[in-house]
Structure 1
Amino acid sequence: MTESARRLDVVFAPGSVAHRGTAAELLGRALDARDLTGDVTFAADTADLQRAVQSAATRGEIIVVPGARAAFAAPAGGAVRVDFGDCEPDRTDGVRAHIRGRGLDGLRYAVDSWYHHRFHPGRIVRYGDHPDQRAELRIPGGTGPFPVAVLVHGGYWRPRWECDLMDGLAVDLTARGYATWNVEYRRPTENRWAAMTSDVADVVQAVGAVPEADPDRVVILGHSAGGQLALRAAADAVADRAAVRPALAVSLAGVLNLRLADERRLGEGAVANAVGGHWSDDRSTYERSSPFARLPLGVPQLVVCGVDDEPDLLEMSRQYHEAAAATPDDVAALEGPGDHFAVIDPGSDLWRSVAEAIDARLRPPTASTPPTAGRSPRDPARDPRSAPPSSSP
């Protein structure tokens, strides 16, 4: 692979950062983690910004920090836009991803997004008319139909967190022989709790329209708040006798007891903010939505959590597993070293154990099929980590 193919251009508008040295330092670490080189430009004025963007765009997709709420015309080669504060999503043509509301660390997420989509691109599939009703499909090499991994990201149901959080797992599972379906969905703050729930249900059923997919071998994995969405979607598919029913549902440090999470105000009151009220005000919605209240789900489950995760989430995973094990459900638990993001880090031992457990369920070895080696895809030059920092939700 040529050196130019690993070069990333990052352009900052005037005044978009408070301290250039800190931004450059963070970018340097993010680039080194992916074995990339970078050309970083801090524009002097608006005209200089446009010149820098047009020059960088000749080399392909770039990262641009245009400044808070600034209008921005993406170049023909495409761009990842970064805004450090909360703002409306930029859905203009050419902006492939808009990393927003994640502070200065949004730069690192942008580098990861650029990396995954440059070297492991997928195909965007729309399952509805809203821009957030989409999934990124990656198909492994070889002959299908393939088992399918449906990935549901977390972020406490808040819009600033999107499916780029699961890019690393999508790439890893595709290399392991799974068709991967990295899901985006509408969020309650912009739509309704019911809209989000129906989106996840719809995108699971959309697996049936993918020619390369085996709808009888579907695993749905949800991280953090996505764990609630994934296990509820699995339970709903069984209850509704849907055409596509997951063969396995995996909670990766999931928020599995909504009443407990609401009472403890986890994520600064994230549950009530998303549902639209507290458990005491709307018990019926909580009971329909909370995997703990839905037991037994009627689908095999794997409950995973790092022992260094937030104590409330670790306790919740253990509580849920203990309760599920007392029902007719087929349920197993996995714990190991790591924080909240070890479970979605392809380089972690905990994730490798999860992947092996999924393989054992969906891809058992046969006389003609050797067991998977359990190796994740790695860039020829490096073995990068992809986990977000422990400070994120």
Structure 2
Amino acid sequence: MDEVLVIVGSGVVADAGLLAQLAEREFGRLGVRGALVHARDPAHLRSLAGRYGTVVVLPGPEKEARELIGQPLGPPVVVWADLDRVEGAAHLNGRGIEGLSWAIRHAVHRARHPGVRRIPYGPSPEQWGELYVPEGRGAVPVVVLIHGGYWRSIWNADTVEALCAGLTRRGLAVWNLEYRRPDRHGWAATRHDIATALNTLPALPGLARDSGLARDSGLGLDLSRVAVAGHSAGAQLALRAAADGARVSLAVSLAGVLDLVQCERRWISNGAVAAALGDAADDLHASSPLLRVPLGVPQLVVQGTDDDPNLIDFGRRHVRAAMEAGDDVTYMELPGDHFAVVSPDTPIGRAAADAIARALS
């Protein structure tokens, strides 16, 4: 990958200078060359896209431009992103101006990791996991990774891709899950998807053989060493799965939402818990990891000191309750914000990835 091109479609409502500043910041942070250009019309957009191998497109509102979303434009990597929320969209959307930064990160990650396999575990377009495998031979431990986003559909599996790469460099296989979020599908669908994905895990080595991974590399998955890990709201789903009896040897919370009762009472993230549970409000206590201790599996709880103080509170109280209930818990609290814990180029992100790798070694 030599260069990244960001194409801004006609009619995108955003300050052009600010978009350019954000793009330059991401290019520098990721160590890539890049350019941002504005397309005059859909034909110009298509023409520009064909000149680069890695492209990010903000299509804008024009019907002809939006009809191009998902169509092959020539480059091997094309990432579509809308700054506005688009109901039912499968591409990145709804993250505001910062959505451009996320889109560039996602595009660069895809270009740098072309061998990642997407494996479905159900019929829905949102029921899949991307399987990362390390170089080498032999059976390797597996991390089933669940992204967060306060259970809202504008946040996707791309938010933890950096952690996937960091864990893979440490010799672990990672299955980065996408799942149906409750804002579109209801709380029961979200719970079902996490349980189904974990139950599907034993089939992955066979799927890997079918795709040539095991045959070509001699690599397999060691299902006696499996961690379920989650970031933010994904940590709630991960530890809930462990509490429900998922066959894992480690449960990991990364900046986790571990006390749903207090999260609801404090109306955190504008009532995210009430919105997620909806008609399933009677599942509140069963879904709160803090109220499910002892979980019966070793736990690693990682929390940044520069994060939301509510999450620090949840993490500390969960650890105390779990240890008092007899669980084996390791608590790691270090400087870092909410996303630093899933960024292996930060001190807390490196420490978290190292701790997961040690626990599964």
Q: Which deviates the most, 347-356 or 300-309?
A: 347-356
Please say if residues 201 and 237 of structure 1, whose CA atoms lie closer than 8 Å, have aligned partners that are also in contact: no
Q: Secondary structure at the match of 1:145?
A: strand
Alignment deviations for residues 149-173 of structure 1 (CA, whole Å, 9 cap, x no partner): 1111110000000000010000010
- In 2, distance between residues paired with 1:223 and 1:40? 31
Q: C-alpha displacement at 1:304, in angstroms?
A: 1.2
Distance 1:48 1:358, change over 3 A: closer
Q: C-alpha displacement at 1:69, in angstroms?
A: 7.6
Q: C-alpha displacement at 1:15, in angstroms?
A: 1.9
Residue type of the alignment partner of 2:28? D
| Correspondence 1:56-71 to 2 at 5 A | 56=51, 59-68=52-61, 70=63, 71=66
Distance 1:144 1:88, change over 3 A: farther
Indicate the residue corresponding to 1:224 in structure 2. 232
Q: Cα RMSD (Å) of the superposition?
A: 1.6
- In 2, distance between residues paired with 1:111 and 1:263? 36
Q: C-alpha displacement at 1:8, in angstroms?
A: 0.9
- In 2, distance between residues paired with 1:309 and 1:352? 17
Indicate the residue corresponding to 1:72 in structure 2. 67
Indicate the residue corresponding to 2:8 in structure 1. 12
- In 2, distance between residues paired with 1:116 and 1:52? 21
Indicate the residue corresponding to 2:296 in structure 1. 298
Please say if residues 343 and 350 of structure 2, whose CA atoms lie closer than 8 Å, have aligned partners that are also in contact: no
Distance 1:198 1:69, change over 3 A: farther
Residue type of the alignment partner of 1:251? S
| Correspondence 1:237-276 to 2 at 5 A | 237-238=245-246, 245-276=247-278
| Correspondence 1:11-30 to 2 at 5 A | 11-30=7-26
Q: C-alpha displacement at 1:89, in angstroms?
A: 4.4
Please say if residues 172 and 357 of structure 2, whose CA atoms lie closer than 8 Å, have aligned partners that are also in contact: no
TM-score w.r.t. structure 2 length?
Answer: 0.90
Q: C-alpha displacement at 1:295, in angstroms?
A: 1.1
Indicate the residue corresponding to 2:191 in structure 1. 197
- In 2, distance between residues paired with 1:232 and 1:225? 11
Q: C-alpha displacement at 1:39, in angstroms?
A: 3.0
Q: Secondary structure at the match of 1:209?
A: helix
Q: C-alpha displacement at 1:24, in angstroms?
A: 0.9
Q: C-alpha displacement at 1:50, in angstroms?
A: 3.2
Q: Which deviates the most, 190-199 or 353-362?
A: 353-362
Q: C-alpha displacement at 1:90, in angstroms?
A: 4.1
- 1:48 aligned to 2:44? yes
Q: Secondary structure at the match of 1:246?
A: coil
Indicate the residue corresponding to 2:149 in structure 1. 155
- In 2, distance between residues paired with 1:82 and 1:158? 17
TM-score w.r.t. structure 1 length?
Answer: 0.83
Distance 1:16 1:357, change over 3 A: same
Q: C-alpha displacement at 1:345, in angstroms?
A: 1.2
Please say if residues 86 and 160 of structure 1, whose CA atoms lie closer than 8 Å, have aligned partners that are also in contact: yes
- In 2, distance between residues paired with 1:163 and 1:144? 27
- Moved beyond 4 Å, runs of 4+: none
Alignment deviations for residues 51-108 of structure 1 (CA, whole Å, 9 cap, x no partner): 323x33xx334211111484232314352111001103445xxxxxx22001111111
- In 1, distance between residues paired with 2:277 and 2:260? 10
Q: C-alpha displacement at 1:317, in angstroms?
A: 0.4
- In 2, distance between residues paired with 1:321 and 1:210? 32
Indicate the residue corresponding to 2:31 in structure 1. 35
Alignment deviations for residues 284-335 of structure 1 (CA, whole Å, 9 cap, x no partner): 3012211111111111111111112111110110011010010121112110
Residue type of the alignment partner of 1:47? A
Q: Secondary structure at the match of 1:346?
A: coil
Residue type of the alignment partner of 1:343? V
Residue type of the alignment partner of 2:226? V
Indicate the residue corresponding to 1:340 in structure 2. 338
Indicate the residue corresponding to 2:210 in structure 1. none
Indicate the residue corresponding to 1:386 in structure 2. none
Distance 1:47 1:361, change over 3 A: closer
Q: Percent identity?
A: 43
Q: Secondary structure at the match of 1:220?
A: strand
Please say if residues 156 and 225 of structure 1, whose CA atoms lie closer than 8 Å, have aligned partners that are also in contact: yes
- In 2, distance between residues paired with 1:41 and 1:220? 41
Please say if residues 68 and 85 of structure 1, whose CA atoms lie closer than 8 Å, have aligned partners that are also in contact: no
> Residue 214 of structure 1: which of 222, 235, 251 is its match?
222
Residue type of the alignment partner of 1:161? W
- In 2, distance between residues paired with 1:254 and 1:222? 7
Q: Secondary structure at the match of 2:159?
A: helix
**Unaligned 5+ residue runs, structure 2?**
206-219
Please say if residues 228 and 291 of structure 1, whose CA atoms lie closer than 8 Å, have aligned partners that are also in contact: yes
Alignment deviations for residues 358-385 of structure 1 (CA, whole Å, 9 cap, x no partner): 233210xxxxxxxxxxxxxxxxxxxxxx
- In 2, distance between residues paired with 1:207 and 1:309? 32
> Residue 180 of structure 2: which of 175, 183, 186 is its match?
186
Please say if residues 102 and 160 of structure 1, whose CA atoms lie closer than 8 Å, have aligned partners that are also in contact: yes
- 1:176 aligned to 2:170? yes
Alignment deviations for residues 1-48 of structure 1 (CA, whole Å, 9 cap, x no partner): xxxx22012211112143211111110111111111123220123332
Q: Which deviates the most, 159-168 or 69-78?
A: 69-78
Residue type of the alignment partner of 2:126? D
**Unaligned 5+ residue runs, structure 1?**
92-97, 239-244, 364-393
Indicate the residue corresponding to 2:241 in structure 1. 233
- In 1, distance between residues paired with 2:87 and 2:35? 28
> Residue 285 of structure 1: which of 277, 283, 286 is its match?
283
